[in-house]
Amino acid sequence: MGLLFLIGLGLCEGDISMRAIEVAKKADKLFLDPYTNRVSSNYVNYLEKILGKDMAKLSRSDLEENAKATIEYAKNATVVIFVMGDPLIATTHNTVIDLAQKMGIVVRVIHAPSIFTAAIGESGLDIYRFGPTTTIPFWSEKYKPVSFIDVINKNLQNNQHTLVLLDYNYKEDRTMSLGEAIDLLNKAQEERKINIIQKILVLADVGKESEDIVYSDISALSKMSERFKGKLISLIIPSNPNFAEAESISKYTISSI
């Protein structure tokens, strides 16, 4: 009987669990999903060294339109697919699980730290006060969505905080910078003729030694892109922090640069 493991790699090198390492060492084939979230070459080298095995990198098509061909490896073998963060955050992996189970393959998931819990935890804001999460995508000449500002606006109207993820371009191995994100937030507000964002909590490289968290108004942050250059960034748009929350985020507050 085949066995497919989806293993989370967490936020940075070393976050993989001991259980996951033992499973991967015994597996027949190792795959890496580098497109739903960025995986550093250092982490790849670290994994291949401790596991004593090479891993094959999957493309987007390998987990979407050609997912069946990828999953078929697990029909008569133990296969691992490594995913940064937690495996079940990206809907792509839920689709993989459903397809594998329909093919008679047993699926197991080994969870790991995710930006969803880590960012909210580090912020000090109440997790129960967060509304839906949204993502700011890269714009192109023919693709300029502003739906992310609608999510933020609705959350603010409901007195809820918003976790905002920034896009990752797999083909170019490029993450969105703080400057790009703020520019798109401003353009989206102009498009909707609203002015709803005053302050932002910037969370960069959460969980890493290079972690850097800043809370300030949008105009000050727009001048700080260089500070966060090369870091993986998430944003939180707070909505009227209560006393305890205000105390927690005050340690990140800066008024100017």
pLDDT at residue number 78: 96
- Mean of the per-residue pLDDT values of the chain: 93
pLDDT at residue number 77: 95
Query: What residue ranges of the chain have pLDDT lower than 70?
Result: 1, 255-257
Does domain 115-250 fall under CATH 3.40.50.2300? My reply is: no
pLDDT at residue number 190: 97
pLDDT at residue number 256: 55
Name the one residue in this structure whose structure tokens are 């459903």: 98
Residue 225 identity: S
Domain residue limits, the chain = 3-110, 115-250
Decide: residue 183, CB within 10 A, 0-12 exposed, 13-18 middle, 19+ buried: middle
**3-110, CATH topology level:** Cobalt-precorrin-4 Transmethylase; domain 1 (3.40.1010)
CA–CA separation, 32 vs 40, rounded Å?
12
**Tens digit of each residue's pLDDT (9 = 90 or more) over 192-249:** 999 999 999 999 999 999 999 999 999 999 999 899 998 999 999 999 999 999 999 9
pLDDT at residue number 40: 86
Give, for 57, the enclosing helix (H) or strand (E).
strand 56-57
